[in-house]
Amino acid sequence: KPRNRWTSPLGQTLESVTTNTDPPFTFAYNPNDADMQRMREQLVLEPVLTHAWHEATWACCARPGGLVVDVGGNFGWYTLFSLALGCEVIVFEPVPLFQEVLRLGVSLNPGFADRVTIYGNVVYDAPGNYSLRVPLPGGKHKKKLGMTGMEGRHGILKSDFNAQALRVSAASVRVDDLVKGRDVCLF
C-alpha cells in the first residue's frame, strides 16, 4: 500500500495512508505501534468498530453543527473519520507524542483544521493534574502505544505494564463544561 513517511519535530518516524473508509481520509500513525500493522494492510483500523461508528454518527454529522467528542484521541482515527463525515470535533489527547500524530493527520486533510479543537487535557470529574503512563516504542516487539494508563482515584485505568513508559502530567477538564449548548452526537 502506498505510504508517505515523515520525521516529526519530536523525532518520531510517522507514516500516512489514505484509508479504505467511506468517506476516505488521510491517516497519520506511528508504524511502531502493533495496532497499526493490520491497518497498514487493510487501510481500516478496527473494522467492526469503524463500521459501527459510521452507522452511529453519519446522520448527526450530516446536520450543520453536529459535534463529536473524542476522549483519548490517540492518533486520531475516530476524530479524522468524524471530520470526514462532516462533523465538528472536540478531541482530548494529553500525550504530546500522540498530539503530534493527530495534528499531522488533521493537516493532511484539507478543510479539517477549521472543524476540530484539540485539548491537551485529560477528562476527569475531579479537578487536578493527573499522571499518565505512556508506553514507548522500542525493544524486540512492537508495543500497543495506545495503552496509556491514567492514575486517578481508583488506581491506574488501563496500561501496558510490561512496556517501557514515559510519564506525562496533564490538567483535567470536564466535557460538560466545554460543550454546553452544543448539538453533541450521542451514541
Strands across the sheet containing 13-18: 4-7, 13-18, 26-29
User: Are 28 and 113 found together in one domain?
Assistant: yes
Is the predicted pLDDT of residue 43 greater than 80, yes or no?
Answer: yes
Note the pTM of the prediction, 2 decimals.
Answer: 0.89
Strands across the sheet containing 67-71: 67-71, 88-92, 116-119
Q: Looking at the chain, how many residues does it have? A: 187
Is the predicted pLDDT of residue 48 greater than 70, yes or no?
Answer: yes
Can you tell me the mean pLDDT for 6-19? Answer: 94
User: Are 17 and 64 found together in one domain?
Assistant: yes
Residue 139's domain spans which residues? 129-171
Can you tell me the mean pLDDT for 89-93? Answer: 97
pLDDT for the residue 53: 93
b/e per residue, 85-105, with b = 16+ CB within 10 A? bbbbbbbbbbbebbbbbbbbb
Is the predicted pLDDT of residue 155 greater than 60, yes or no?
Answer: no
Final residue in a domain of this structure, among 69, 103, 124: 124
Q: What is the mean pLDDT of the chain?
A: 87
Domain count, the chain: 2
For 131, the grid coordinates are 499522571
User: Are 107 and 143 found together in one domain?
Assistant: no
For the stretch 40-49, contacts whose Cβ atoms lie closer than 8 Å and that sit 24 or more positions apart, written own/partner, are 40/1, 40/3, 40/15, 41/1, 43/1, 43/17, 43/18, 43/19, 44/19, 44/20, 45/77, 46/77
pLDDT for the residue 142: 63
Can you tell me the mean pLDDT for 39-49? Answer: 93
Q: Are 102 and 116 in contact (CB under 8 A)?
A: no
Is the predicted pLDDT of residue 162 greater than 70, yes or no?
Answer: no
CA distance 159 to 113: 30
pLDDT for the residue 91: 98
Q: Which amino acid is at 138?
A: G
Is the predicted pLDDT of residue 100 greater than 80, yes or no?
Answer: yes
Q: Which amino acid is at 43?
A: L
User: Are 139 and 66 found together in one domain?
Assistant: no
Instruction: Using a pLDDT cut of 70, give the percent of the chain over it.
Output: 84
Q: In which residue are the cell numbers 493527520 written?
A: 105
CATH of the domain at 108: 3.40.50.150
For residue 187, being part of any structural domain is answered with no
User: Are 32 and 103 found together in one domain?
Assistant: yes
Q: How far is CA 133 from the centre of its chain?
A: 16
For residue 20, being part of any structural domain is answered with yes
pLDDT grade, residue 157 (50/70/90)?
low
pLDDT for the residue 174: 96
For residue 48, being part of any structural domain is answered with yes
